[in-house]
Structure 1
Amino acid sequence: MRRLGPDDWRTWREVRLAALAESPRAFSSSLAREQGYTESDWRDRLDPARGLKAVADDDAGLVGGWVPEDRGGAVELYSMWVRPEWRGRGVGDLLVGEVVAWATENGHPSVDLWVVDGNTVAERLYRRHGFEMTDESMPHPDHPDVIERAMSCPLGQR
């Protein structure tokens, strides 16, 4: 696992664009939008003040974590993606673990995330790490026909 900073913008860009190309409905952005980002845009997204960005070894996947103002100090895990050829090989566990570790290191009370309703593979992955389904749900921001459900993992017992 590698935690990235602004100087790693090329790495983040490469893996992020691959994710958007392979799984366009999984993210609240688009390949066309992010292909238009400048070097400055990419560097800004990797500013440590904006949270965590990490990639697995061999750029097998990526994940982000940030602290939304409206979540009581909880970290939100987002933008998780694993290259198809790496799926089923533990990369998702490493990515989730990295966000949980970062949140714990920084004293956050929990890690929250949104999962597409019916994505049982992702739900199983998150449950292995102590996440539980909450009562929160919402339409996906870019695909209103897709419902997302919130999961949360309290960190105080770790």
Structure 2
Amino acid sequence: MRISVRRLGPDDWQTWRDVRLAALAEAPHAFASSLAKEQGYDEAGWRDWLHPDRGMKAVAYAHTDAAGLVGAWLPEDRHGAVELYSMWVQPSWRGRGIGDLLVTEVLDWAREHHHKRVELWIVEANLIAERLYQRHGFRATEEYQPHPGDPDLRERVMMRDLTPGQ
């Protein structure tokens, strides 16, 4: 099985759009956005989202099929930490290492840009995702917030220190 990860730029807007919409359709509860909202984005909006100043977006390919996606950006309120977000793997490819490749891509990008920490928000009780992130050195913190799409759920921050020796 040949799997590769490719970082995307503005000219890849259709790829990001198609995989992102597939993710929102398959797992609407997992994202802070909605399929209906993002179906309304125009080409300029998708291209802007993929501008390098807005972080890194990547898609994993298994053979020629888009098997997953991930994004990373620098939110202003996180004191310089990169935030891993929009992690999704196509159901037929789950359990085959796609998630590991996507997390590694974010960590590599963060190191290339000399960032010292990567954080992510994870829904409580999502043990499969938590184990994935723990394999990559993330640890749970005591910072919580209500899930933006479902106030009955809570999210917790997991973080990974990227300073040398960590």
Structure 1 length-normalised TM: 0.98
Give the structure 1 partner of residue 73 of structure 2: 66
1:17 aligns with 2:21: yes
Give the structure 2 partner of residue 86 of structure 1: 93
Alpha-carbon separation, structure 2, partners of 1:20 and 1:99: 20
The offset of 1:70, in angstroms, is 1.5
| SS of residue paired to 1:152 | strand
1:34 aligns with 2:41: no
Structure 2 length-normalised TM: 0.94
Runs (4 or more) in structure 1 with deviation over 3 Å come to: none
Alpha-carbon separation, structure 2, partners of 1:94 and 1:130: 14
Give the structure 2 partner of residue 100 of structure 1: 107
Give the structure 2 partner of residue 148 of structure 1: 155
Alpha-carbon separation, structure 1, partners of 2:149 and 2:94: 25
Question: Pick from 64, 82, 91: which aligns with 1:75?
Answer: 82
Aligned length: 158
Alpha-carbon separation, structure 1, partners of 2:134 and 2:128: 10
Alpha-carbon separation, structure 1, partners of 2:44 and 2:27: 25
User: Unmatched 5+ residue regions in structure 1?
Assistant: none
The offset of 1:85, in angstroms, is 0.3
The offset of 1:71, in angstroms, is 1.3
1:51 aligns with 2:55: yes
RMSD over aligned Cα, in angstroms? 0.7
Give the structure 1 partner of residue 12 of structure 2: 8
| SS of residue paired to 1:134 | strand
Correspondences of 1:123-138 after superposition (within 5 Å) = 123-138=130-145
Task: Give the partner amino acid of 1:38.
Answer: D
